[in-house]
Amino acid sequence: MSYKYKPGEFVYNDGGRVAYGLTPIHKLRKDPCDCVIRALAIVLDEPYWSVKMLLKDMDRQAKSKFPQYRNDKWGDRRGWPEYCYGAILDHVGYRRVDANTTGITNVTDLLDKWSDGSPMFKGVYFCKVPHHVTVIIDGVMYDTDFPSNNRLYTYWHRSEIGHDGFGKEREKLGEL
């Protein structure tokens, strides 16, 4: 059964894909496999193209350092592996959490609200669900569509956000 989100739980955000000059997702015949780029662009508050270049660079570095990754065929058409985006999130201060260890096993759990309407889970969550990643900020999902399978595998969490949004992340990205 598919989860029907409530008003205020979902905001359409393509992470700057259309601003970069690419076709809007709803006009494509098949999945463009760019959910990692879109989610990182939202979390890091960086342009789509710069996140794409950062991921390509991380992939290149991993393949040169670790022989087991050399034959991986990841990228624009096939999605991005966790060793690329996980390293970026770790570097800017996010903490990886295995969902099975927390009792939060469904992405919709992170959308729960208290009786006064305030979010139960504050902060920024970069969530890995089957064949997709999505972003939840203070109980609101930011993506192009609500995931059809809500099972949560892992998530990266950061509870503190600077006054200017994601300025701290931008400073740390310069160190990569």
119 φ/ψ angles, rounded to the nearest 5 degrees: -70, 140
Residue 1 lies in a domain: no
Residue 165: per-residue pLDDT: 40
Distance in angstroms (rounded) separating the CA atoms of residues 159 and 10: 19
pLDDT score of 1: 42
Q: How far is CA 161 from CA 2, 78, 154, 165, in A?
A: 32, 31, 21, 6
Note whether residue 72 is domain-resident. yes
- Token pair for 141: 């999902």
CB 99 within 8 A of CB 155: yes
Q: Which residues of 43-55 are buried (b: 16+ CB within 10 A; e: fewer)?
A: bbebebbbbbebb
- 68 lies in some domain: yes
pLDDT at 111: 87
Element (H, E) at 65: helix 48-65
Query: Beta partners for 113?
Result: 119
* Phi and psi torsions of 11, nearest 5°: -130, 125
Q: Quick one: DSSP state of residue 141?
A: E
59 neighbors 82 (Cβ within 8 angstroms):
no
Instruction: Note the pLDDT of residue 173.
Output: 57
Q: Is 118 exposed, middle or buried (0-12, 13-18, 19+ CB in 10 A)?
A: exposed
Kindly state whether residue 3 falls inside one of the protein's structural domains: no
101 inside domain: yes
Number of domains in the chain: 1
User: Does a structural domain hold residue 48?
Assistant: yes
pLDDT by residue, tens only, the chain of 176 residues: 455 666 678 899 999 988 888 877 777 766 678 899 999 999 999 999 999 999 988 888 887 887 776 677 666 567 788 888 998 999 899 999 998 888 888 888 888 888 887 888 889 999 999 889 999 999 899 998 888 778 999 999 986 544 334 445 555 555 65
What is the domain extent for residue 99?
10-173
Within a domain: 35: yes
